[in-house]
Amino acid sequence: MLSKKNGLPTTLRSRNEAARVSNEELFFDLVYAFSVTQLSHYLLDHLSLLGALQTLVMWFAVWLGWQYTAWATNWFNPGSLRIRGMLFGVMLLAMVMASALPGAFAERGLVFASCFAAIQVGRTFCMLIAVGSKSPLAPNFRRLLAWNCVAAVFWIAGGLSEGPWRLGFWFVGVLCEYVAPMVGLVFPGLGRSSTAEWTIDGGHLAERCQLFVIVALGESILASGIAFGHHAEWHLVDVYALLVGFAGSLAMWWMYFDTSAKEATHAIEHAKDPGRMGANYHYTHVILVAGIIVCAVADELVIGEGSHHAELKYLGPLLGGPAIYLFGNALFKRVVRGFLPQSHLYGLIALAVLAAFASHLTVLVVGTLTTVVMIAVAALEAVVRRRAWAAEAH
């Protein structure tokens, strides 16, 4: 619920009622649909270990920009003019950053790094000004701003460097902003934060992550449709390849939304330490969504290169995408339910067995088998959860 004072939206969200995702936030997410598309295309054009590492670092940057903004709009009211301006400013910078992504490790490295640094530092600075110096949240934002500034140094240094130095500097920058919250944003002279101080609305945070998963799955559907449309003639094998990609996307949706997404809101809101659980919840999604992005690349390969021999560079996305997704989804369910689902472990084992002989198959056959694994995991998970719900009801 967006709080109001004298008929106008106030800066902070009200905690008296559950917060709802606003139209401003939905509009903001559109630029991240573009970012996800850029990432999958970059990986498709750079199917190598170096290309995978570069894509990984850029994905971390994209996710950090979105994740920190999701936390900001959990605390602050996007309907207020000040926060709305901050949100749209971040959106513009994110769009430029996404546009520079294909050349981030070439001629546009400094543009990419500068936009990311401006997003992180600028957003936190706006939050600190908006909350005021006497707010209980102010010390937390000061520590966060300090770490944003430290990370920005490495990002700018990487933008000014070339080759391995750029990748190294940016990797350190990523670590600064991922590890700092894990240690309470401890910073010399500024103290340390406790997750108990991170008052959050669990329902809002869960819904924001769910919407990003939809954005990423949309990229998977989009990639399949575009690749299929590029065929001059649609033969039966092309239609089959499209169905394989669609079935894989459907299985990923089913695994996430059918059995666990609704439980997440309740789990965060009723946790002893909602701030810590919310942070862990976000950390699992960076892995989960990365798996969806890699699966989108695999879908394009299945439709566009289905008849080709499954070379090593193709096996990375074909097997890696589903494996990353299953691993991330398993961690997500571990956070929500408190235990790892056996169905996902079985799926990972099946993918490992497939990896032993996949190099002797075609891209289409490997894609088919990985989709079968994903469907089997989704089906097994659904059956197990429904039996558990039926037992609880009785």
217-229 pLDDT, tens digit per residue, is 988 898 888 888 8
The pLDDT confidence band at residue 74, using thresholds 50, 70 and 90, is: confident
115: which strand partners? none
Q: 88-126: per-residue pLDDT in tens?
A: 999 999 999 999 999 999 999 999 999 999 999 999 998
State yes or no: pLDDT of 280 exceeds 60.
yes
Residue 347 CB burial class (10 angstroms; 0-12, 13-18, ≥19): buried
If you search the block for the tokens 């920009």, which residue do you land on? 65
pLDDT tens, 326-361?
Answer: 999 999 888 877 778 889 999 999 999 999 999 899
Domains in the chain, CATH or no CATH each: 20-193 (no CATH), 202-389 (1.20.1410)
Closest among 367, 382, 178 to 284, alpha carbons compared: 178
Q: What are phi and psi of 190, to 5 degrees?
A: -115, -5
C-beta separation of 44 from 222 below 8 A: no
Mean pLDDT of 15-39: 83
The pair of structure tokens assigned to 348 is 């990972």
DSSP labels for 21-32? --HHHHHHHHHH
What is the mean predicted confidence (pLDDT) over 168-189? 87
The pTM (predicted TM-score) of the whole model is: 0.89
Q: What average pLDDT does range 68-77 have in this prediction?
A: 85
User: Letter for the amino acid at 225?
Assistant: G
The answer to whether 2 touches 9, Cβ cutoff 8 Å, is yes
Q: Please state the φ and ψ torsions of residue 338, each to the nearest 5 degrees.
A: 95, 5
Q: Are 55 and 44 in contact (CB under 8 A)?
A: no
pLDDT value at 5 more than 70: no
Q: Is 389's pLDDT higher than 90?
A: no
Give me the mean pLDDT over the 202-210 stretch.
81
Residue 59: which pLDDT band, with cuts at 50, 70 and 90? very high
The beta strand positions in the chain, using DSSP E, are 4-5, 8-9
Q: Kindly tell me if the per-residue pLDDT of 231 is higher than 50.
A: yes
DSSP 8-class letter at 9: E
Confidence of residue 165 (pLDDT cuts 50, 70, 90): very high
Is the predicted pLDDT of residue 288 greater than 80, yes or no?
Answer: yes
Instruction: Examine the pLDDT at 282 and tell me if it is beyond 80.
Output: no
Q: How far apart are CA 225 and CA 217, in angstroms?
A: 13
Strands 8-9 and 4-5: antiparallel
Which of 205, 164, 168 is CA-nearest to residue 18?
Answer: 205
Q: By three-state DSSP, how is residue 187 classified?
A: strand
Instruction: Give the pLDDT band of residue 374 (cuts 50, 70, 90).
Output: very high
- pLDDT > 90? residue 240: yes
Tens of pLDDT along 36-47?
999 999 999 999
pLDDT of residue 1: 43
Query: Phi and psi at residue 392, in whole multiples of 5°?
Result: -65, -35
- Is-contact 292 217, C-beta < 8 A? yes
> Is residue 17 predicted with pLDDT exceeding 80?
no
